[in-house]
């Protein structure tokens, strides 16, 4: 009996100390990790979407509340000479593997997309991952924000052959981003 | 004197991947480049030294029946810490190593040294043992990574190494190349041991399972 109590106490103490230490460390590194993730995961996609800017979209990013939900969305601005040219925001759509993360770029002055970039995906290499290739993504450049849909559903975006779910997921992500942008357009255009 | 012996055995005589043949999973998987091998080795040094240190400091209060569980909790917490620190300070390395960072928990070197050494030896000796094994592990991984990177992509530490127009032997970067490379290194080390024993006139040491002290397999019960 005495032995059993000792085992329980020692094990609980060790687990308690471990849990506390890890929670402390996670809190302490949370800000740094967020910065790093933005630089290395979203960063390349942000650069892919639009290239003609002279600010740092990640440093100048702002968070907006999405009306009607509890969600917030981070918007990255592209500016040149202090003037807002375009913005990018990340959204998600269910692909073949998990959600596909898509960075969607919007022209700040007209209702057009300036392009997309894939941030995170767990799609099949060589098949679903081809949604990240220019062959697919260039269809979004200059596209109107309304009417983004796959040609198989009546729209004008051709999916990647053999990667139905990945194509659908990417398009859904873009549609979600468009919905958020439409509700936040006024706020966004006045924020920088 | 005791500390140096414990520290130095991990550097050659009991080199974890090539002599104890422990921790082969990361050895094969992350050594596509020398840099990745070095990064993984650094993470393992961190976990191994601290794990040996903590386990040696609580070895007298851990009841024998739950000791493996306690070792694993300590090792796993350290691995999560190293993961968080890597994400915060060295994200590209974290992206390269991927799933093999969390897999450090089940790296046989960690649990093997905890059970075979840190569970029964004083704090400073255990730390020295962990440091020696960790550095030996890092050197082995960096060496294997360097060989695979040089022949498989013509570069070393991401800088061009081979002559212009070198056709990379991409087999070396793929999984089968890792196995072949490891096998050749093991063969070379065994050959060196046998040759050295012959020169000294002693029999080449045939280590029986219970004499190795890397883990407790085959050890007589106390």
User: Residue A53: is its pLDDT beyond 90?
Assistant: no
Residue A13 lies in a domain: no
Residue B216 lies in a domain: no
Q: Nearest-CA distance from A31 to chain B in Å? A: 8
Contact A7 B63 (CB under 8 A): yes
User: Residue B222: is its pLDDT beyond 50?
Assistant: no
Residue B47 lies in a domain: yes
Contact B84 A14 (CB under 8 A): no
Contact B70 A32 (CB under 8 A): no
Q: What is the pLDDT confidence band of residue B213, given thresholds at 50, 70 and 90?
A: low
Q: Which residue of A has its CA nearest to B87?
A: A33
Eight-class DSSP state of A157? B
Over residues A68-77, the mean pLDDT reads 86
Name the residue among B70, B85, B89 with its Cβ closest to that of A14. B70
Residue length of chain A: 192
Set of chain B residues whose Cβ sits within 8 Å of the Cβ of A14: 58, 70, 73-74
Q: pLDDT value at position B215?
A: 58
Q: What is the pLDDT confidence band of residue B21, given thresholds at 50, 70 and 90?
A: confident
User: Residue A162: is its pLDDT beyond 50?
Assistant: yes
User: Residue B14: is its pLDDT beyond 90?
Assistant: no
Residue B220 lies in a domain: no
Judged by a CB distance cut-off of 8 A, whether residue B98 touches chain A is no
Residue A174 lies in a domain: yes
Q: What is the mean pLDDT of chain B?
A: 86
Q: Nearest-CA distance from B188 to chain A in Å? A: 37
Q: Are A112 and A143 in contact (CB under 8 A)?
A: yes
Question: Which of these, B117, B151, B153, lies nearest to B7 by C-alpha position?
Answer: B117
Residue A51 lies in a domain: yes
Instruction: Give 3-state DSSP helix, strand, coil % of chain A, rounded to 5.
Output: 45, 25, 30
Q: Which residue of A has its CA nearest to B83?
A: A26
Residue B158 lies in a domain: yes
Over residues A174-187, the mean pLDDT reads 88
Its domain, for residue B160, covers 2-211
Q: pLDDT value at position A50?
A: 86
Q: Nearest-CA distance from A1 to chain B in Å? A: 13
Tens-digit pLDDT profile for residues B117-170: 888 889 999 999 999 999 999 999 999 999 999 988 888 888 888 887 788 888
Residue A70 lies in a domain: yes
Contact A40 B91 (CB under 8 A): yes
Q: What is the pLDDT confidence band of residue B205, given thresholds at 50, 70 and 90?
A: low
Residue B103 lies in a domain: yes
Q: pLDDT value at position B87?
A: 93
Residue A16 lies in a domain: no
Q: Which chain B residues in 60-89 lie under 8 Å from chain A, judged by CB atoms?
A: 61-63, 65-66, 69-70, 73-74, 76-77, 80-81, 84-85, 87-89
Domains identified in chain B, total number: 1
CA dist., res. A108 & res. A89, Å (int): 12
Residue B219 lies in a domain: no
User: Residue A175: is its pLDDT beyond 70?
Assistant: yes
Residue A58 lies in a domain: yes
Judged by a CB distance cut-off of 8 A, whether residue A18 touches chain B is yes
Name the residue among A14, A22, A37 with its Cβ closest to that of B81. A22
Question: Which of these, A129, A121, A132, A119, lies nearest to A38 by C-alpha position?
Answer: A119
Q: Can you say how many angstroms the Cα of residue A95 is from the centroid of all Cα atoms in its chain?
A: 14
Residue A181 lies in a domain: yes
Judged by a CB distance cut-off of 8 A, whether residue B207 touches chain A is no
Contact B91 A36 (CB under 8 A): yes
Domains identified in chain A, total number: 1
User: Residue A27: is its pLDDT beyond 90?
Assistant: yes
Contact B65 A40 (CB under 8 A): no
User: Residue B1: is its pLDDT beyond 60?
Assistant: no
Over residues A104-110, the mean pLDDT reads 88
User: Residue B221: is its pLDDT beyond 70?
Assistant: no
Residue A14 lies in a domain: no
Judged by a CB distance cut-off of 8 A, whether residue B91 touches chain A is yes
Report ipTM (2 d.p.).
0.75
Judged by a CB distance cut-off of 8 A, whether residue A36 touches chain B is yes
Its domain, for residue A140, covers 47-191
Over residues A67-91, the mean pLDDT reads 87
Q: Which chain A residues in 38-77 lie under 8 Å from chain B, judged by CB atoms?
A: 39-40
Q: Nearest-CA distance from B92 to chain A in Å? A: 7
SS3 string, chain B, reads: CHHHHHHHHCCCCCCHHHHHCCCHHHHHHCCCCHHHHHHHHHHHHHHHHHHHHHHHHHCCCCCHHHHHHHHHHHHHHHHHHHHHHHHHHCHHHHHHHHHHCHHHHHCHHHHHHHHHHHCCCCHHHHHHHHHHHHHHHHHHHHHHHHHHHHHHHCEECCEECCCCCCCCCHHHCCHHHHHHHHHHHHHHHHHHHHHHHHHHCCCCCCCCHHHCCCCCCCCCCC
């Amino acid at each position: 009996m005495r032995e059993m109590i000792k085992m329980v106490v020692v094990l609980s103490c060790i687990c308690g100390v471990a849990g506390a230490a890890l929670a402390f460390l996670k809190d302490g590194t949370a800000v740094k990790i967020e910065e790093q993730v933005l630089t290395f995961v979203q960063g390349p996609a942000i650069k892919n979407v639009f290239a003609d800017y002279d600010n740092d979209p990640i440093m100048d990013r702002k968070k907006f509340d999405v009306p009607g939900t509890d969600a917030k969305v981070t918007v990255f601005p592209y500016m040149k000479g202090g003037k807002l040219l375009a913005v990018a925001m990340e959204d998600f759509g269910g692909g073949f593997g998990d959600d596909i993360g898509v960075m969607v770029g919007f022209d700040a002055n007209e209702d057009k997309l300036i392009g997309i970039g894939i941030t995170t995906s767990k799609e099949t290499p060589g098949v679903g991952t081809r949604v990240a290739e220019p062959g697919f993504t260039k269809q979004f450049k200059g596209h109107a924000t309304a009417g983004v849909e796959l040609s198989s559903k009546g729209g004008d975006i051709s999916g990647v052959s053999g990667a139905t779910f990945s194509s659908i997921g990417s398009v859904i992500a873009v549609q979600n981003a468009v919905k958020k942008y439409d509700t936040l357009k006024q706020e966004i255009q006045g924020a920088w | 004197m005791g500390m140096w012996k414990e520290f130095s055995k991990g550097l050659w005589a009991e080199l974890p991947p090539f002599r104890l043949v422990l921790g082969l999973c990361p050895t094969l998987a992350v050594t596509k480049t020398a840099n990745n091998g070095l990064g993984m080795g650094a993470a393992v040094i961190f976990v191994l030294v601290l794990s040996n240190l903590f386990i040696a400091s609580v070895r007298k209060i851990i009841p024998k029946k739950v000791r493996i569980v306690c070792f694993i909790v300590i090792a796993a917490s350290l691995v999560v810490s190293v993961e968080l620190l890597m994400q915060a300070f060295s994200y590209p390395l974290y992206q390269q190593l991927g799933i093999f960072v969390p897999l450090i928990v089940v790296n046989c070197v960690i649990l093997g040294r905890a059970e075979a050494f840190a569970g029964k030896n004083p704090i400073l000796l255990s730390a020295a043992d962990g440091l020696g094994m960790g550095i030996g592990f890092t050197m082995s991984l960096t060496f294997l990574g360097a060989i695979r990177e040089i022949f498989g992509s013509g570069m070393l530490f991401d800088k061009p190494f081979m002559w212009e127009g070198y056709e990379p032997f991409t087999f070396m970067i793929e999984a089968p190349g890792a196995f072949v490379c490891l096998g050749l290194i093991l063969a070379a080390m065994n050959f060196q041991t046998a040759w050295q024993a012959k020169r000294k006139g002693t029999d080449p040491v045939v280590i029986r399972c219970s004499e190795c002290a890397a883990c407790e397999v085959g050890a007589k019960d106390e």
